[in-house]
Each structure stands twice: as C-alpha cells, then as structure tokens.
Structure 1
Amino acid sequence: MKSKNLILTGILAMSSVFASAQKIKAKTQTLIIGPEKGNCIGITQRGACYQVKTSKAQKEWSDFDNPIKGFNYKPGFEYVIQVKTQKAKQPIEGVNEEYILVKQISKKKAK
C-alpha cells in the first residue's frame, strides 16, 4: 500500500512540474530588436523605446514601450532575444506584466 501511495505521489509531482513548464513556455516569446530606438509616448515609458518585430516576415518595426529586465541594449545592433512575461510585482499605471530577458539569441551589427 505504501509503495502505491509513493508511486501516486511521484506521478502527481511530475504532473505538476510538467504543467508548470507548460505555463512558462506559453509566456515566452522571441523578439527582434531594431538597431535604433524610436520616440514613444506609452504607458510605461516615455521618450526612446525599442523598435521590435515578432517575426522576420514582419516588414515594419513596431514601438515597444516596455522595459526588458536584464537586456543590455546598444544602438547600431540588431538583436534577437527571447523574453518571458510575468505578472509585475509592482504594476505601473495599470500595466500588469513585466518583460524579462531569458536569453540573447543573436547580436548583429546593423548595415
């Protein structure tokens, strides 16, 4: 009986870990950051903001007025980064999500 309980507990624990990993993966996205910043007036940022694309097929850059924690931006380079979003610990002006760098995939000198 104890071994059945132990096995069941192990299965439940693994299911919980798997479910947590799925949630994290669902909130991760890849962004292409442009070599120049744009001028934005957004909820979380005023002034210079990132210019982003969510895929290589996207032709126009979009304004991205959220800071990305852990990302060290330098003008003149195009970046491909992976970020995750999570609930903000201290929401600012109604913005409930924050962006955190997961990894920098590439950094290329702009042409």
Structure 2
Amino acid sequence: MISKDNAEHYVWGDKCDGWYLVKNQDMLVIHEKMPAGTQEKRHYHAVSRQFFFVLEGVLTMELEGEKHAIGAQQGIEIPPEAKHQARNDSNNPVEFIVISHPTTRGDRFDIPDITS
C-alpha cells in the first residue's frame, strides 16, 4: 500500500511538495501540493505524456499559451512536446495527481524566461 503518508517526499520550486506514489521508468505517479501563488517553470517533455488530476483547489495550467482553470475532480492531458506551466493563481493550496508515461526523469526541458 502506498499513500502520501508513507511515500518518498521531496520539495520543489518555492515550497511545493511532491510524493512519489509510483516511481518507475515506464510510469511516474506523483501527488503534488502547491501553496497559493506558486508556479513551476514553463517547460516541455520530448517523450512523456502527462495527465494532471486535481484533488483539491484550482490548478491553472498554461498549455501552449492558453490558460485552463482545472477544478477539483477535473483533469487535463499534456501531450509530448507541448509547452506548459502549472500555476496556483488562487489564494488557497491546490493538490493534484500527475501521471507521466514514461517517466519525465531526463525528459524535461525548461524554457528560458524572456521577460524584460
């Protein structure tokens, strides 16, 4: 049995949490929690296909320049090579599951921020 309580934990970004529920080369399943106002770097995966499923809160997913507000019990698929960024634009934490097939390890390419 695996749960957030006994899974391998890590911290990413600005105080965001992740728990590896499945950590295999052919599939990665992570439970993530993002505090209010946090975001990940915009990036893409050359091979991995992902599915984000929101458990609590609202996740804003920027996908190829279009923003999607994903509420609890909703999800969004991210195809390979699609540029995307998960954000929490709300005032409350958001928790979600990310399923990646195959794993994103070694398959993440950050997009430089070109704000001026």
TM range (shorter): under 0.3
Q: Which has the higher helix share?
A: 1
User: Under a length normalisation based on structure 2, what TM-score does the superposition of the two structures give?
Assistant: 0.26
Greater relative contact order, per chain length (Cα 8 Å cut-off, separation 6+)? 2
**How does the TM-score come out when normalised to structure 1?**
0.26
Q: Give 1 or 2 for the bigger CA radius of gyration.
A: 1
